[in-house]
Every structure is written in structure tokens, then in C-alpha cells.
């Protein structure tokens, strides 16, 4: 349990750091869409290289075949869980400091509970009590920031993060449901999905159409040096 908590805290540290980096890129004139989409472009290249090197090309081919077999499902989950999630996070960096985004992102803990309830799960009262404490903490952070910012900054900086907090667990839970026999979703029982790196690659590949469509709609200026 201690090791799991330690890994979770370390992961949270690295992930929260990306909020600050996104804000820094925004202040330097970088477009939020490139910050978001290029992250997944690099992630796909890194995962393809890593999986091929450590697991072999046969595993990489198997993951690609699994994606093509259920491409509609992976595009749906990838667009929600990765595309919608991170595009909104990067968009909010144009309006809020990284520390506010990092604090607001903790609402994903509460959002995950609501998502799981929608899929038929239940939780004891103490879990909801803990969630209320998190909500109060996030609310206090945003109220303190409200005194230093305009309503526009508060809305465009906070609301996207709130929506992103739901996108991430929805995408991940859909994958979990599909791999555990939910009759309303495609049955995905391939053992390759058990590996977390393969799963991230599948979701990343699924997010590609989302990024291409978003780039075509927003038409951001080409990234500079």
C-alpha cells in the first residue's frame, strides 16, 4: 500500500509539473493546441519504439491489429479520455496560472466517483466525505484566485479543467468496462490490453483523428522554435 501511495504521489508530482510547463509555453506565445497535440504525437512515437524494443515487433503489430479491429471504440475512448481531457487542460493554461489548474484538477477524484456511480458502482459515506473536503479545498483555491482575475479568466481557466476532470475517467472507465464484458460495449478480451503501455498506445492512436479535426478547425499558427 505504501508503495502504491508513493507511486501515486510521484505521478501526481510529474503530472502537475506539466500544468506549469503548459502555462510557461502559453506565456511565451505558444499555442495551446500544439502543446496538447504534439504531446501525444511524441507519446505515440516513444511507445511504438519502446514496445518494439522491449516486447518485440510482434507485440507492436498485435497492438496495431487490435486497434484496427475495434477502431471505432478506440477513437471514441481516445478522443474523450486523451483528446478532450488534455486539449481542455492546455486551453485553460491561456487563462489561469499552473498552480490553479493543478489544484482544480484534483476534482478528477470526485469526477471519477460520479463516473463509477453511473456505471453501477457504490461507495461508503466516508469516501464522499473525503470528496467534499477535496471540493472545499479546490473551491478555496479558485475563490482566492478570483480576487486576482476577471470573470472571463475564471470561467475559461476553470470550467475547461472541470470538464477535463470528467473526460479522463470516462475514457478510462469505458476501456475497463469493455475489457470486463460490459454487454453494451465491444468485447475486448485480448491479453495485450492488460499491459498499461499497450493500453496507453491504443488510446493515443485513438486520439489522432480528434487532434487532426481540432487542428483543422482551430488552424493554429505553426509552432516556432
Distance CA 173, CA 206 (A): 15
pLDDT in tens, the chain (225 residues): 456 556 655 766 677 777 777 777 777 777 899 989 999 999 999 999 999 999 999 999 999 999 999 999 999 999 999 999 999 999 988 888 877 888 888 888 888 889 999 998 888 888 888 888 888 888 887 777 666 667 777 788 889 999 999 999 999 999 999 999 898 999 998 999 999 999 999 999 999 999 999 999 999 987 765
Distance CA 121, CA 151 (A): 36
Q: Is the overall model pTM greater than 0.85, yes or no?
A: yes
From residue 157, alpha-carbon distances to 21, 104, 108, 220, 225 in Å are 15, 10, 16, 19, 26
Q: Counting beta carbons within 10 angstroms of the beta carbon of residue 163, is it exposed (0 to 12), middle (13 to 18) or buried (19 or more)?
A: middle
- The CA angle 141-144-149, to the nearest 5 degrees, is 115
Q: Which three cell numbers stand for residue 161?
A: 479543467
| Residue extents of the structural domains in the chain | 14-217
Amino acid at each position: 500500500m505504501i508503495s502504491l501511495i508513493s507511486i501515486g504521489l510521484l505521478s501526481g508530482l510529474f503530472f502537475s509539473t506539466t500544468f506549469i510547463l503548459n502555462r510557461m509555453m502559453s506565456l511565451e506565445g505558444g499555442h495551446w493546441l500544439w502543446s496538447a497535440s504534439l504531446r501525444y504525437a511524441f507519446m505515440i512515437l516513444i511507445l511504438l519504439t519502446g514496445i518494439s524494443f522491449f516486447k518485440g515487433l510482434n507485440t507492436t503489430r498485435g497492438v496495431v491489429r487490435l486497434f484496427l479491429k475495434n477502431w471505432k471504440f478506440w477513437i471514441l475512448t481516445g478522443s474523450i479520455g486523451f483528446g478532450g481531457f488534455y486539449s481542455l487542460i492546455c486551453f485553460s493554461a491561456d487563462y489561469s496560472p499552473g498552480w490553479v489548474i493543478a489544484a482544480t484538477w484534483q476534482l478528477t477524484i470526485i469526477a471519477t466517483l460520479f463516473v463509477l456511480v453511473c456505471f453501477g458502482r457504490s461507495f461508503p459515506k466516508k469516501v464522499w466525505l473525503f470528496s467534499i473536503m477535496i471540493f472545499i479545498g479546490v473551491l478555496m483555491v479558485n475563490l482566492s484566485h478570483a480576487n486576482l482575475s476577471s470573470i472571463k479568466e475564471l470561467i475559461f481557466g476553470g470550467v475547461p479543467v472541470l470538464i477535463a476532470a470528467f473526460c479522463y475517467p470516462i475514457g478510462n472507465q469505458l476501456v475497463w468496462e469493455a475489457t470486463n464484458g460490459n454487454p453494451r460495449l465491444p468485447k475486448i478480451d485480448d491479453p495485450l490490453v492488460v499491459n498499461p503501455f499497450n493500453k496507453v498506445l491504443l488510446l493515443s492512436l485513438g486520439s489522432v483523428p480528434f487532434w487532426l479535426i481540432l487542428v483543422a478547425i482551430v488552424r493554429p499558427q505553426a509552432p516556432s522554435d
